[in-house]
Structure 1
């Protein structure tokens, strides 16, 4: 059961958090699930870029981004209106069915681009409901005083799997008698990785979700969404955190989507899935370091300054990556980008949850996750720009031009928000609007 928030007799520490059995089971099951997801993403993006180039990556990102933008607020409102455990069970079951569909398709030979896009779009629809439910479940398992540590501990598991998942994906793609990559093995592992998480869901908390009184059906859903938007508009710290999150999502994190294009089109690096897997693992290793730094940050008064510095560091690391000519320098740059990006995202999300009442967390999380749609649209536009520039200017490095432009824009945006970030301090959430 969650501990009582603010109990001074029990200091917040990892040992106390680990004694929380539902959180511990959820953490372990998610580690296995995330390992499969990392291998799946690596295999699908490599299959797309080798078969359809930068144009295929653009459509893949667009397929995910459209439902993320259209459905996030509905996913958040749904999270606050029905039991989160039940919603999470439904979303995980749906993701498993989509994974099975792609696995069966790869066994039939060449996978058409429309099917890859459709699979990614389906994942985008489901994730709009899955992500706020998953994040809100963590809030139900722990006390408010443990929330930052719990979110960072969960992130450590996700980023550890981002180190080993791509490496495992690269190994699975290399298994076989022919020289071609074998994406179907990575897709099979992804299907199997859902089973431990589905098995642990019945043991998660059964806290009922609150819904607006006096309204039913569609009217209640829209009222629920309006309450979440109204609360965000009234809270200046939340608006500032959302602005920084949007900058990082729009201009920084698309570097991960562009990474297979960087490897596939680079003149000096080996255009092979093993190189792509190595760079993804470097990003994941940086993410582990970023998560550990977040765990050590606690509730210090300088967190706003740390957020700005991490976002600026992400921009600088991306610039270094875009100009890398050898795998060692590219790996180091990818590591730094992963560390800065994860530290910024996780600390931002933890602070937003700490500023939000429990009954509004699903909706605020969903508003924050609209950034995933921004990231997907930005990545799609950047990928298509690389494709078009590469055709129009054969002698130029189209990836370098596009990626450097995004990183410089992020740096400028962070500098504009810097004065406000330096005055940001953690504090107790304000009451929800009545």
Structure 2
């Protein structure tokens, strides 16, 4: 009997609504589309395709949401990890305008899914970008103008007094409030989307790691015990795809981030930290992010470990960060501490494209995955339906290998991060 893979020991895994295990693929089956990876990219694509009438099979190497989709901060952050001004500078106004028109669509898709399928995932609207120094505040003013130029209205700048009313911390000089941001229990959002997909006849197989893909006219996706022959294949494993596709692995790098969840706080204490229950991320290069959960815990995350993995003690590392922001929580008990990997690209922009006419990929959200994965699902469906224009707009973004190859990419990137970390520290 095959050993089943457990979830990581996260708060999300402990509070997930669906604890059932899906079957292991043990047969040869046929499908319109085979998707590798049951995270947000894979399941968002699967649900869009199933709604359009396609027969879709999803293969997951471990458990649904085992990777970043079931471990992340749960924040709905609009746009991309490199913003639209960078895209315009490097690729011109036409492509920037096209990507700008899609930059806020992922969050809308999430809201639609929650409403349409009645997904119980503790959704709370509203997000704040918090500035730690005047330079960051100036950047937020520019960000507001940039987003408004691309049609994203409703943003509000917060001065020191206004942000102090929203966050019980003296760390910030100001901020930017985005009412279309928000936060969710991400694993429950994903599992709700899986339930919707399965309700339309879709199949998800767990503990079914893909070991080979035959790149034929109708690709064959092979696991240890079975295989799927499909008209199209989507690669959606992100940081957990290992060396299945070497040409993609060379142009991306897993990076770890860590999160803690406190014990359940007194409701008055929890409400005092974030009175309107907005989520927050600061404006540092190596940023911190946090929110209060539906059961009154502070969930606090941050840091980056290049190459993936976790520091020796997540609790020690995150306590220092959290108590700097909220000294009133000094010594609070942590009930959960976990890490996970996201996939970083050199450009910090998503990688969409094709290996062949029938094998597509979408990955590399560089820390902005919750919303952009949901956009990706819609674009993959459009491309397979014969309307690839929006998918191909992302495919025009150029991606290059990290310098130094697999051996040196981690230390080189870490050196760059050290430089930016020092800039954060001194407000440069």
Relative to the length of structure 1, the TM-score reads 0.28
Greater fraction of residues in strand: 2
Greater fraction of residues in helix: 1
Relative to the length of structure 2, the TM-score reads 0.28
Larger relative CO (CA 8 A, sep 6+): 1 or 2? Answer: 1
